Amino acid sequence: MDFTAEQFEMFPVLCGQTKPKSKFRQWLDATDKHGPLLTPVLAAAAAALSRQRIHTLINEGRLATVEVGEHRMVPVAALELFLAEDRPNGAPRKNSPSSLSQTFTAVYDRQAERLAAE
């Protein structure tokens, strides 16, 4: 389900807040500018890499991030770009950009099944 910026803007109001909190506003602005964002832990799971490896790639500048407040988030587009890079040495990647979206779909489906079973 996709939401528009106006719908996200209304979420805090619907929860009883009179205006969006600044952290939520920062996240909303970042997603408007850079598209969907993942935490490094979610990026690691999606790319079948360890959390430490994702942080190493970020620190080396090989994986782009966006600062949202005090946190670094990985744009899905940057993760797909990294996964699409040629690897002259080493084994082929487990997840390609096309299977990345399939990974997210599978995780979402498992979550939905688990919630339906409860």
Q: What DSSP line would sit under 2-55, residue for residue?
A: ---HHHHHHHHHHTT-SS--HHHHHHHHHHHHH-SEE-HHHHHHHHT--HHHHH
| Per-residue model confidence as pLDDT tens digits over 42-55 | 888 888 889 999 99
Tell me if 27 is assigned to some domain: no
Full residue range of the structural domain in which residue 106 is found: 38-64+81-117
Tell me if 113 is assigned to some domain: yes
Q: Of all residues in the chain, what percent carry a pLDDT higher than 90? A: 19
Rounded Cα distance, 46 and 92, in Å: 16
Query: Quick one: tokens of 27?
Result: 């996240």
Tell me if 23 is assigned to some domain: no
Tell me if 46 is assigned to some domain: yes
pLDDT at 32 over 70: yes
Our count of domains for the chain comes to 1
Average pLDDT score, the chain: 76
pLDDT at 78 over 70: yes
Q: Which residues of 87-103 are buried (b: 16+ CB within 10 A; e: fewer)?
A: eeeeeebebeeeebeee
Helix (H, G, I), strand (E, B) or coil at 63: coil
Listed in sequence order, the residues at least 6 apart from 45 whose beta carbon sits closer than 8 Å to its beta carbon are 107
pLDDT at 1 over 50: no
* pLDDT at residue 63, as a whole number: 93
Mean pLDDT, residues 30-58: 89
- Nearest Cα neighbor of 62 from 36, 43, 45 is 43
